[in-house]
Amino acid sequence: MKTILTTTAFALMASTALADTITLYTSQPNADAQQTVDAFKAANPDTDVEWVRDGTTKLMARLRAEIEAGNPQPDVLLIADTVTLEGMAQDGLLTAYQSPEAANYDSALYSADGFYHSTKLITTGIVYNTGIETAPTSWNDLSDAAVKGQVAMPSPLYSGAALIHLATLTGDDSLGWGYYEQLAENDARAQGGNGGTFKAVASGEKPYGMVVDFLAIRNKAEGSPVEFVFPSEGVSYVTEPVAIMSTAKNVEGAQKFVDFLLSAEGQDVVLEMGYIPARDGMGVPAGFPAREDIKLMDFDPATALKDAEANKAKFTELFGAE
Amino acid sequence: MSVLTKNGGSRSEGWLLSTILIVAITLTLAPVLRLFVEGVTDQDAVGLSLAGEVLRQPSTLSALKHSLVTAGFGTLVSVVLGSAFAFLVALTDLRAKAALVFCLMIPMMIPPQITALSWTQIMGPSSVLLKTLGMAPPLGSPQPLYSAQGIILLLGIQHMSIIFLTLRAGLRAIPQEVVEAARISGARGLRTWWQVVMPLTLPSLAAGTAITFVTALGNFGIPAMLGIPAGYATLPTLVYQKLAGMGTSVLAEVSILAMLIGAVAVTGILTQRFFQSRQRVYLVGATSRPLAIPLGAARLPVEVLLWAVVYTILVLPMFGLLATSLVPAYGVPLRLDTVTLQAWTEVLLRQPVTTRAFANSFGLAIGAAAVLMLLCLPLAWLMERNPTRLSRLFDSLLDLPYALPGVVLSIAMILLLIKLPFTDATLYGTIWIIFFAYLARFFAVMFRPVQASLKQLDPAMGEAAQTVGASLFQRLRDVIVPLSAPAAAAGAILVFLTAFNELTVSALLWSSGTETLGVVIFNLDDSGETAMASALAMTIVLVVMALMVLVQLMSRRFPKGVVPWQT
Per residue in B57-103, pLDDT (tens digit) is 888 899 999 999 999 999 999 999 999 998 888 888 888 888 888 88
User: H or E segment at B484?
Assistant: helix B481-500
Q: What is the rounded radius of gyration, in angstroms, for the C-alpha atoms of chain B?
A: 25
How far is residue B461's CA from residue B522's CA, in Å, rounded to a whole number? 50
Cross-chain residue pair A322–B429, CB shorter than 8 Å? no
Cα–Cα distance for residue pair B488/B445, rounded to 1 Å: 10
Judged by CB atoms closer than 8 Å, whether chains meet at A158 and B363 is answered as no
* pLDDT tens sequence across B460-510: 877 888 888 888 888 888 888 887 887 888 788 888 888 988 888 888 888
Residue predicted with more confidence, A119 or B455: A119
A305 in contact with B at a CB cutoff of 8 Å? no
Contacts with A13 from chain B: Cβ below 8 Å: 359-360, 363, 431, 514
The sign of the CA dihedral B203, B206, B212, B215 is: negative
Highest mean pLDDT among A123-137, B281-295, B449-463 belongs to A123-137
Looking at CA atoms only, how far is residue B524 from chain A in angstroms? 8
Q: How many other C-beta atoms are found inside a 10 Å radius of the C-beta of residue B136?
A: 20
Q: In this predicted model, what pLDDT tens digit does every residue of B109-122 receive, in sequence order?
A: 788 888 888 898 88
pLDDT band at B281 (very low <50, low <70, confident <90, very high): low
- Tell me which chain B residues have a C-beta less than 8 angstroms from the C-beta of A29: 527-529
Q: Which residues of B touch A5 (CB under 8 A)?
A: 366, 370
Can you tell me the distance from the alpha carbon of A124 to that of A299, in angstroms, rounded to the nearest whole number? Answer: 13
- Which of B430, B428, B418, B536 has its CA nearest to residue A13? B430
B115 or B107: whose pLDDT is higher? Answer: B115
How many Å apart are CA B24 and CA B18, to the nearest integer? Answer: 10
Pairing of strands A48-53, A21-26: parallel
Candidates A206, A212, A180, A208; CA nearest to A312 is A180
Q: Do B245 and A203 touch (CB under 8 A)?
A: no
List, in order, residues 6 or more apart from B36 with CB less than 8 Å away: B259
The model carries a pTM of 0.80
Question: From A68, which residue of chain B is nearest by alpha-carbon distance?
Answer: B248
Dihedral, CA atoms, B87, B91, B95, B97, nearest 10 degrees?
60
Helix (H, G, I), strand (E, B), or coil: what is residue A8?
helix
The DSSP output letter for B48 is -
Taking the C-alpha atoms of residue B79 and residue B55, their distance in angstroms, rounded to an integer, is 31
Eight-state DSSP code of residue A193 = -
What pLDDT is recorded for position B324?
85
| B428 vs A130, more confident | A130
The CA distance from B563 to B567, in Å, is: 7
Q: Are B407 and B218 in contact (CB under 8 A)?
A: yes
Give residue-wise pLDDT tens across range B356-381. 899 999 999 999 999 999 899 888 88
As a whole number of angstroms, the distance between CA A273 and CA A218 comes to 8
Cβ atoms of residues B544 and B497 within 8 Å = yes
What CA–CA distance (Å, rounded) separates A319 from A299?
Answer: 23
Q: Nearest to residue B121, comparing CAs of B321, B333, B342?
A: B321
Residue B199: band (very low, low, confident or very high) from pLDDT cuts 50, 70, 90: confident
In angstroms, the CA B408 to CA B255 distance is 8
B217 to chain A nearest CA, in Å?
Answer: 20
Minimum distance, in Å, between the CA of residue A100 and any CA atom of chain B? 30
Percent of chain B at pLDDT exceeding 70: 90
Determine what percent of chain B falls in helix, strand and coil, rounding each to the nearest 5.
75, 0, 25
| Optimal mutation site among A205, A273, A316, interface B, most CBs of chain B within 10 A | A205
Query: Does residue A3 sit at the B interface (CB-CB below 8 Å)?
Result: yes
Buried b (16+ CB within 10 A) or exposed e, B5-31: eeeebeeebeebbeebbeebbebbbeb
Looking at every residue in chain B, the average pLDDT score rounds to 82
B332 chain-A contacts, CB cut-off 8 A: 222-225
Best to test chain A binding among B139, B414, B522 (most A CBs inside 10 Å): B139
pLDDT averaged per 10 residues, chain A (length 322)? 47 50 90 91 92 83 79 89 88 93 90 93 94 90 91 88 92 92 90 86 90 91 90 93 94 95 94 91 89 88 86 86 50
The partner residue sitting opposite A219, judged by closest CB among B330, B366, B532, is: B330
Start-end of H helices in chain A: 2-13, 30-43, 56-68, 82-90, 160-170, 176-185, 194-203, 213-222, 251-262, 264-273, 301-319
With CB atoms and an 8 Å threshold, state whether A199 touches B530: yes
* Closest by Cα among A93, A94, A161 to A125: A161
- Which DSSP symbol is given to B92? B
d(CA A203, CA A206): 8
Q: Per-residue confidence at B558, pLDDT binned at 50, 70, 90?
A: low
DSSP string, B360-393: HHHHHHHHHHHHHHHHHHHHHHHHHHS--HHHHH
Chain B nearest-CA residue for A205 = B140
User: Which of A22, A150, A199 is the best residue to mutate to test the B interface, defined by the most B CB atoms within 10 Å of its own CB?
Assistant: A199
Percent of chain B with pLDDT over 90: 16
Q: Kindly state whether A117 is in contact with chain B, defined as any CB-CB distance less than 8 angstroms.
A: no
- Which of A231, A249, A260 has its CA nearest to residue A142? A231
Closest CB from A23, A58, A150 relative to B140: A150
Specify the 3-state DSSP secondary structure of A212: strand
In this prediction, residue B287 has a pLDDT band, given cuts at 50, 70 and 90, of low
CB of B38 closer than 8 Å to CB of B240? no
- Going from the C-alpha of B29 to that of each of B399, B413, B441, B502, the distances in angstroms are 10, 11, 10, 20
- Compare all CA atoms of chain A with the CA of B242 and give the residue at the minimum distance: A322
* B97, burial (CB in 10 Å: exposed 0-12, middle 13-18, buried 19+): middle
Q: How far apart are CA B213 and CA B155, in angstroms?
A: 10
**Beta-carbon contacts of residue B542 (< 8 Å; ≥ 6 apart):** none
What does the DSSP assignment read for A230-243? Answer: --TT-BEEE--EEE
| Contact at CB, B124 and A206, closer than 8 angstroms | no
Collect all residues of chain A within an 8 Å Cβ-Cβ radius of residue B431.
10, 13-14
| Nearest residue in A to B368, CA atom | A6
3-class secondary structure, B283 = coil
Query: Which of B3-7, B154-158, B496-500 bottoms out in mean pLDDT, i.e. has the lowest?
Result: B3-7
- Per DSSP, chain A holds a count of helices (H) and strands (E) of 11, 13
Distance from CA of B359 to the nearest CA of A (A): 7
Identify the helix (H) or strand (E) that includes residue A24.
Answer: strand A21-26
d(CA B525, CA B516): 15
CA atoms within 13 A on the CB side of B446: 34
Q: B358 and B500 in contact (C-beta within 8 Å)? A: no
Question: For A47, phi and psi rounded to 5 degrees?
Answer: -115, 130
